[in-house]
Structure 1
């Protein structure tokens, strides 16, 4: 076996997160244009929240993993 269950579960979770963000990133230009029709500021804020959200999700996951490893 190449991976233990813990590592495999972490890889599956990371893959699901990447897939979810990838789908939203693929749709991002259309979303930004649709939001930008109403408010250019809102479109910019949406883009910033998306990018920050990507890093926050992985940061929170890493914190959770570290906390579980120390117990």
Structure 2
């Protein structure tokens, strides 16, 4: 395994573990925020879920910028 592919695998693993933790605790977090404001709970839940896709979109843009 080349150092570059190992680095990419580690980055993907860290991202997936982080996203997994966020998704695991998302219902509890949204319900807790929903006690104060249902709209704010919706916005927080949507932002956390869209953040997952934003991370990979930004990483793809970075990779294209580097010519890979």
* Structure 2 partner of 1:9: 7
TM-score (norm 2): 0.90
Q: What is the CA–CA distance in structure 1 between the aligned matches of 2:27 and 2:59, rounded to whole Å? A: 27
Supply the distance in 1 between the matched residues of 2:31 and 2:51 (Cα, whole angstroms).
20
Q: State the Cα distance separating 1:9 from its structure 2 match.
A: 0.5
Unaligned runs of at least 5 residues, structure 1: none
User: How does 1:1-71 map onto structure 2 within 5 Å?
Assistant: 3-68=1-66, 70=67
Once the two structures are superposed, residues 14-36 of structure 1 have per-residue CA deviations (whole angstroms, 9 ceiling, x without a partner) of: 11011111111111111011000
| Unpaired segments ≥5 residues, structure 2 | none
**Aligned partners of 2:35 and 2:25: how far apart in 1?**
16
Choose between structure 1 and 2 for higher RCO, CA contacts under 8 A separated by at least 6 residues.
Answer: 2
TM-score, scaled to structure 1: 0.87
> Which whole-Å CA distance do the structure 1 matches of 2:63 and 2:11 have between them?
12
